[in-house]
Chain A
Amino acid sequence: MRARTHTEIYRPFRGAISASAARASTLAWSGVRVGFKRKLPMLFLFAIPLIATIVGAFQIQLKFDALSKELSFITADDADVQAKMANQFVANGLAELLGSVEQIILTTLGTLQFFVVLAMGWYGTGLIAEDKRLRAHLLYFARPITRWTYLRGKLGTVLFWGSCVVVGPVTVMCGTAVFASPEWSFLTDRWQLILKLEGYALLWVVVHALLVLAVSSVCRLRNQALAGLFGIYFLMSIAGELLAWLFDSANWRLLSLVRNFERLSEALFGIASGEVTWGLEASLWALAAFCGLCLVVLDAQIKKMELGR
């Protein structure tokens, strides 16, 4: 027998309903919270990026420590002479050191950016597909939210997971370099590189997040969406390579997301693969067109969902 309590009565709401601008973040955070409950995938997907980040940050710290130790061996009776010797040593060695630190960060970024696709695919492909399958969007669109709020909410969730894998590690390693470098030299000398790294990582995450959500919005099952995501991702690359070979024109590689980001990294960090021959503008246009296409698909699908279909 179950006892009834005094709480089982209907209580009218006396508070206020406001037009909060943070509705998208509420939706995004709710998706993140559900994601945190899947602990085993989290371990598999984030263990490697975490280890890579720790190792990278440790390497950076060690390099700057080594520089400090070498500086401590410079001895002279006169303090001015010692300072001059140190400055000269720093001038010679620091540039080389900062270059090698930059290389560590770029290598880590290059490794991690593919984990982004895995992490965002795992956590993001179900976001809209599952809503459609369970018709959970009926609950969302029965609230005073717009399609744009819904999209921003879902995008926020995917961006969070993507950022955890690539933007977070880049920030941690850049932060380590800034704090470990003598007299903030990494910040003062390479601030442009920090901005470029963060911008590149963010762009990578945003473009892939849009792809993940667009694929999720046209599927009714998470597994379908996951397969579709990797299918599209690899098919675009394969199609680009195949058409480039067939028509003997490297420009067909513009179809590949990876190649466009390669071109971008070449322009930003000077890492040339030798296989991208087109201009930076072409890659930027290709990425913009790709994002536009994803947004068109998302708009059409979310519009259908809003109408309860």
Chain B
Amino acid sequence: MKSSHAPTADGGTVPAAPGRPSSPAPSIVRLRGLVKSYGDVQALRGVDMDLPPGPVGLLGPNGAGKTTLISLLLGLLEPTAGEASVAGLTPTTRKSRVEIRKRVGYMPESDCLLPGMTAVELVSTLARLTGLGKQDAMTRAHEVLDYVELEEARYRPLDGYSTGMKQRLKLAQALVHDPDLLLLDEPTNGLDPKGRRHMLGLVEDLGRNQGKNVLLCSHLLPDVERTCDHVVVIVEGRAVLQGSIAELTAAEATRLRVQTDERDGDLWRALEERGYRCETPDEEPAMGPTQRGFLATLPDGRSDADEICAIAAQIDAPLLQIEPVRRSLEQVFLTAVDGRGEDQR
């Protein structure tokens, strides 16, 4: 995988958008050396980020600075240093930061729905607060509630809503003004499998079919993998990794999964004698009772698997399969969080 490194405010480097096309689409969010401090505590330490249009996943361990970043993108916070551009607006003044909120829709993680209101009342009120006229707000409230399939419950008090309905209602209120950028904070939190599938279907539709720019903040990596094309990993206030999921999890030509039927480890030893680095996979793939598998890294950056076949034939080891190893998003995330970087890949 090719990767370029962009300098950060503190002099470090960030693996930046690997394998991007030479003329990328304009970024919906562009951050350069963004710093946000609360007294002595630096929540963001020079974030460089280019969010391409479309669905993007925002990953990071707890306390990494995701919430601060979302607050900055919403224009709720003023950056301590650095440059930011959100949906074409620069949040330098208070007025411009308020203006950003017309272009951004936010679905918070917490419940945040007031009891006593109905879905139509809540969504239309929030639409009016965004600046929609009375008629538009009501029409739009019905449209988005239909879209998230709450049309039959729209006049029911929110007190009786299930978690799934509440999550969909929060998505509806974020969509009501048809924002350029949707910030979704843990949209599948607390949902049962059916509700989760429904929510992910909506997010996927918005990002992939409706052309919405979505920033999905989630701890559930399969959710991000399913709905997003790109991912940004934030660790300790820095964007340590960003790029397309397809490229980040791409198969590596120098690392192969070897499946064999022999139990004595002859092939393992034979390969290691010839300079291969062999290891047991972290997650054992589903294999038959007599099958054995290991990961082999080719020496000297070679990318030819034919030699393994030849060695197996030499020692008469029953070789079942050789396939390039594809990294999961979880591995990518853990590698980025552990700070082991490119050298382990």
Contact = CB atoms under 8 A, between A and B. Distances in A.
Asked if A and B are interacting partners, one says: yes
B305 interface: no
Contact of A23 (B108, B128, B136, B151): B128
Interface residues on B, range: 35 or more
B270 to A, nearest CB: 58
A144 B131 contact: yes
A57 B115 CA distance: 38
Given A10-B210, A12-B178, A135-B108, A23 B116 contact: no
Contacts of B106: 138-139, 142
A181 B125 CA distance: 44
Interface in A6-55: 7-13, 15-20, 23, 26-27, 30, 33-34, 37-38
B163 to A, nearest CB: 14
B177 A141 contact: no
Contacts of A131: 114
A9 B125 contact: no
Contacts of B311: none
Nearest to A4: B149
A308 B126 CA distance: 17
Interface size class of A (residues with CB under 8 A): 35 or more
B69 to A, nearest CB: 12
B102 A144 contact: yes
A15 B133 contact: yes
A176 interface: no
Given A17-B132, A26-B125, A135-B110, A9 B140 contact: no
A272 interface: no
Interface stretch (B8-16, B70-78, B220-228): B70-78
Contact of A30 (B99, B121, B173, B177): B121
B42 interface: no
Q: Is the interface of A mostly helix, strand, loop or mixed?
A: loop
B117 A30 contact: yes
B132 A37 contact: no
A140 interface: yes
Contacts, number: 117
A306 interface: yes
Interface in B110-152: 110-117, 121, 125-126, 128-133, 136, 140, 143, 146-147, 149, 151
A144 B99 contact: yes
Given A17-B131, A23-B128, A135-B110, A10 B206 contact: yes
- Tell which of B99, B125, B151 has the most Cβ of chain A within 10 Å: B125
A203 interface: no
Contacts of A37: 116, 157
A142 B112 CA distance: 12
A18 B134 CA distance: 11
B129 A145 contact: yes
A143 interface: yes
Contacts of B130: 17, 143-144
Contact of B71 (A8, A20, A307): A307
A102 interface: no
B148 to A, nearest CB: 9
Contacts of B121: 30, 33
B98 interface: yes
A282 interface: no
Contacts of A23: 128-129, 131
Contacts of B105: 142
Given A27-B125, A34-B117, A142-B174, 11 more contacts: A7-B143, A10-B209, A37-B116, A134-B115, A135-B110, A140-B129, A141-B74, A144-B131, A306-B76, A307-B77, A308-B67
10 closest A-B pairs by beta carbon, nearest first, are A13-B178, A142-B106, A7-B146, A17-B131, A135-B110, A138-B108, A143-B129, A15-B136, A34-B116, A144-B101
29 contacts: A10-B147, A10-B175, A10-B209, A11-B147, A15-B132, A15-B136, A17-B177, A20-B131, A23-B129, A30-B117, A30-B121, A33-B121, A34-B116, A37-B116, A134-B112, A134-B113, A135-B110, A139-B106, A139-B113, A141-B74, A142-B104, A142-B105, A144-B101, A145-B98, A145-B129, A307-B71, A307-B76, A308-B67, A308-B76
Interface of A: 5, 7-13, 15-20, 23, 26-27, 30, 33-34, 37-38, 130-131, 134-136, 138-146, 306-308
